[in-house]
Structure 1
Amino acid sequence: MTADLHAPFRARAARTVTWVLGVLTVLGAVAVIVLLPLSGAVFGLGDQAGTAALAALICWFLWRQGSVRADPGPTGLRVRNLVHTRQVDWAEIVAVTFGEGNPWVLLDLSDGDTLAVMAIQRADGDRARAEARRLATLVALHEPRD
């Protein structure tokens, strides 16, 4: 039970969507680079390089979105969101909230700040609610005892 409790948090629907969009982006870029010049359109080497660069940028963004995660450890939680990665100690986490209007779990921190945990997303439905409960359980297990 402890191993499952400490498993990494990962968004499931977001990873699936990003993989599909990544494949479509690459296929679309290849089609534009290969087929557009054959149609007689003025499409030079710079245009092809620009199309490839744009596809690479889109794929990088999709990879970042698909790789969001939260890794629980003995001392705290490492949260990797779209842009930033942050390590928070268990004692810093005051509450875990997953309100109806929130797209992902929010951690209320002891310094008054909040931290989004994009690895637990509402799009995952019942699984997301179960993961939010698991995270709240982890926080409660690591509360300082007096």
Structure 2
Amino acid sequence: MSPTDAVLAPFQPRWARLVAAVLSIVVLVSLVALFVFVRPNAATRLAPDDYLLMIVFSCVLWGILWRQATVRAVPDADGLTVRNLLTTRRLEWAEVVSVRYSADRAWAQLDLAEGDEIAVMAIQKADGDRSIQEARRLAALVNRYGTAVDR
């Protein structure tokens, strides 16, 4: 791997991915346990639509957990693709003015030339010292490739 490849490596949270994986397994085991161990009796009379609702709810949870596990920011020479929990946005380096990250923030934040801000959930406080290094690496990329002028 060349030094440029290392600098342009994707930003990905570690703990969020691990937690999402563990919770996905918990949801699966819970769903299987519900179907296997809950037997109909006077207190638990579940109709087929109740089981269907539990499957749908589990699928929604898996979808949310999958999206959390795939949060990332992918830099290249032209810009940055930021995939957060709900949105994915492609930014050109010229659109990014600065990177903000501190101990009181849950994740890094980009200040954009248009006056907007965007969270970078791929750099999360939960990752500790690694998140500080990753925020510095993102700021270095903005300085290296960016041409935005602060308004």
Counterpart position of 1:125: 128
Asked whether 1:98 is paired with 2:101, we answer yes
1:26-80 CA deviation, whole Å, 9 max, x = no partner?
Answer: 1101111221126662122211111111111101101111110000012100000
TM-score normalised to structure 1 length: 0.94
| 1:36–1:43 Cα contact (<8 Å) kept | no
Counterpart position of 1:115: 118
1:5-35 CA deviation, whole Å, 9 max, x = no partner?
Answer: 0000001000000000010011101111221
Asked whether 1:18 is paired with 2:16, we answer no
Alpha-carbon distance in 1 for matches of 2:78, 2:142 = 11
| 1:93–1:109 Cα contact (<8 Å) kept | yes
Where structure 2 has 5 or more consecutive residues not aligned to the other structure, the ranges are none
Report sequence identity in percent: 41
Alpha-carbon distance in 1 for matches of 2:36, 2:60 = 19
2:39 partner SS? helix
Alpha-carbon distance in 2 for matches of 1:79, 1:125 = 20
TM-score normalised to structure 2 length: 0.91
1:106 maps to a residue whose letter is Q
1:24 maps to a residue whose letter is V
1:83-135 CA deviation, whole Å, 9 max, x = no partner?
Answer: 11001110111110102211000000001100100000000001111100110
Counterpart position of 1:51: 54
